[in-house]
């Protein structure tokens, strides 16, 4: 019977959070590991034969929800909330909280019952929240979510093989190209190298391609040819693949591109490349959807996947995923799950795209003609299918500075040996991890 299965599931959730409490909060004092004291025992609706399905769950009697959303998405969320109340009879109160602040607020306000029932988090914040027992798993709608969302999005909002989030939107970087220079985007690094031989002219401040020399934009040179940050889908910090054969090959390619972009790494900034692209002096610009507004009405541009490596595979970017999550301290866990699943459905992701330009995480939404025929968003969505979610484990913080230093050394110093530089970097990372 569905009711029996649900009760078992609920008991399992309580046990998970009890274990999380015993395990502490991973050393992060900003997260409170005290546990929720109240959960609902409202059963799902059942069909005539007593068997229910995911769409038959009903909200608890008298349920009402509070939802946190970033100010720039409030107008969109007002429409979602109104439609949810119309369909389920559950009133929804919206509170504008900046996206980057919601996780911190949940940690402090969740145990005191002051936090929202549903909130939006970037995927790299969920590990700490899960360890502190702040989130309920996406269990009632797990099969549906796994079936309809991009695989990279599912991986991003899972922790320790448990799905927690309801993916809402995705973002990654791709390649902006000036259509007045490239009627069609180049598909390989070899094409770009050949083009740069006649286009790049430092005296005229003209360059073939630019990207920022920070860790976020490093992943194409790490993982496309077989390197990796951490083993087991970036969850095993004892296995670092930043100096293996594939990573060395990737950084050898990076070193060879200095002739394409004859500038020191520190001279390439967001502002520099944005201005050059606006002026028509930069042909190709690796950047994210956050820069669309800077180029709209100023440049005749398109967006395409990153150039392919020597193995023919499109370069792997890092990606971020935003998702709805259910506060484990909610008084209405069924209604909150229903809302999260409803807000993340295909139709509402398309509405989000129409109103805010957000890139869908839903596979069918990404294939919708409205997205496919958008030459800008479709380029980012295609690149997302070749992306790796940003690592969520805390050990990633021990990586960024040594990686950036190695990135810059290999680029700026013509005498730097790639393998030696990467070996030294990994030793530093291991020392950083062990000292914490």
**Does residue 142 carry a pLDDT above 50?**
yes
pLDDT of residue 55: 55
* Topology given in CATH for the domain delimited by 2-170+320-389: D-Maltodextrin-Binding Protein; domain 2 (3.40.190)
**Cα gap 120→70, rounded to integer Å:** 8
Integer-rounded Cα radius of gyration of the chain: 23
Q: How far apart are CA 436 and CA 434, in angstroms?
A: 6
Residue 11 has pLDDT above 50, yes or no: no
Residue 39 is predicted with a pLDDT of 42
- Between 43-47, 273-277, 292-296, the lowest mean confidence (pLDDT) is in 43-47
Beta carbons of 402 and 432 less than 8 angstroms apart: yes
Q: Which residue has the higher pLDDT, 31 or 72?
A: 72
Beta pairing class for 65-69 and 236-241: unpaired
Taking residues 21-47, report their average pLDDT: 40
CATH 3.40.190.10 domain position(s) in the chain: 2-170+320-389, 172-319+392-434
Give tens-digit pLDDT for 100-114. Answer: 789 889 999 999 999
The predicted model gives 212-241 an average pLDDT of 92
Q: Could you give the count of Cα atoms lying within 13 Å of 250 in the half-sphere of its Cβ?
A: 27
CA distance 332 to 330: 5
Q: What is the pLDDT of residues 168-181, one digit of tens each?
A: 999 999 999 999 99
pLDDT at residue 46 tops 60: no
CA nearest neighbour of 376 among 267, 291, 261: 291
Q: What is the per-residue pLDDT across 60-76, written as a single tens digit (0 to 9) for each?
A: 999 999 999 988 889 99
Residue 47, pLDDT > 70, answer: no
| pLDDT tens digit sequence for 298-312 | 999 999 999 999 888
Q: What is the mean pLDDT of residues 78-91?
A: 97
pLDDT at residue number 23:
39
Between β-strands 282-287 and 174-178, what pairing exists: parallel, antiparallel or unpaired? antiparallel
Is residue 92 over pLDDT 90?
Answer: yes
Q: Is the pLDDT of residue 388 over 70?
A: yes
pTM exceeds cut of 0.85? no
pLDDT at 127: 85
What's the pLDDT score for residue 71? 87
Confidence band for 37, pLDDT divided at 50, 70 and 90: very low
Mean pLDDT, all residues of the chain: 86
Which residue would you say has higher pLDDT here, 70 or 33?
Answer: 70
Choose the CATH number for 172-319+392-434 among 3.40.50.920, 3.40.190.10, 3.90.180.10, 3.40.50.9100: 3.40.190.10
């Amino acid at each position: 019977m569905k009711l029996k299965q649900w009760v078992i599931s609920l008991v399992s959730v309580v046990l998970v959070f009890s274990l999380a409490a015993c395990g502490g909060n991973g050393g992060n004092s900003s997260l409170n590991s005290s546990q929720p004291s109240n959960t609902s025992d409202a059963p799902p609706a059942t069909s005539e034969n007593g068997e229910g399905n995911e769409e038959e769950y009903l909200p608890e009697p008298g349920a009402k929800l509070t939802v946190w959303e970033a100010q720039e998405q409030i107008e969109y969320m007002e429409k979602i909330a109104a439609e949810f109340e119309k369909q389920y009879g559950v009133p929804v109160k919206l509170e504008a909280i900046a996206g980057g602040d919601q996780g911190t607020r949940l940690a402090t306000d969740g145990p005191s019952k002051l936090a929202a029932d549903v909130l939006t988090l970037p995927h790299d914040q969920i590990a700490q929240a899960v360890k502190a027992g702040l989130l309920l798993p996406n269990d009632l709608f797990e099969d549906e979510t796994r079936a309809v969302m991009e695989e990279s999005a599912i991986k991003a909002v899972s922790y320790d093989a448990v799905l927690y989030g309801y993916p809402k939107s995705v973002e990654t970087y791709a390649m902006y190209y000036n259509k007045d220079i490239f009627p069609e985007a180049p598909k390989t690094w070899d094409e770009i190298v050949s083009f740069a031989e006649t286009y790049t002219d430092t005296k005229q401040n003209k360059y073939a391609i630019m990207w920022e020399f920070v860790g976020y934009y490093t992943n194409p040179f790490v993982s496309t040819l077989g390197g990796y940050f951490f083993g087991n889908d970036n969850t095993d910090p004892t296995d670092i693949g930043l100096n293996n054969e594939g990573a060395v090959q990737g950084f050898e390619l990076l070193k060879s591109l200095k002739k394409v972009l004859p500038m020191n790494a520190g001279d390439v900034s967001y502002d520099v490349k944005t201005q050059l692209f606006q002026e028509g002096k930069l042909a190709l610009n690796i950047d994210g959807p956050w820069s669309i507004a800077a180029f709209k009405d100023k440049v005749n541009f398109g967006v395409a996947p990153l150039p392919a490596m020597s193995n023919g595979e499109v370069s792997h970017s890092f990606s971020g995923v935003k998702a709805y999550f259910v506060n484990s301290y909610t008084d209405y866990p069924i209604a909150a799950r229903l809302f999260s699943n409803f807000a993340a459905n295909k139709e509402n992701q398309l509405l989000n795209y129409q109103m805010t330009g957000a890139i869908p995480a839903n596979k069918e939404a990404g294939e919708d003609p409205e997205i496919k025929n958008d030459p800008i968003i479709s380029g980012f969505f295609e690149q997302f299918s070749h992306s790796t979610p940003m690592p969520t484990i805390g050990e990633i913080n021990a990586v960024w500075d040594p990686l950036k230093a190695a990135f810059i050394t290999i680029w700026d110093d013509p005498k730097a040996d790639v393998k030696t530089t990467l070996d030294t970097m990994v030793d530093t990372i291991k020392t950083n991890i062990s000292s914490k």
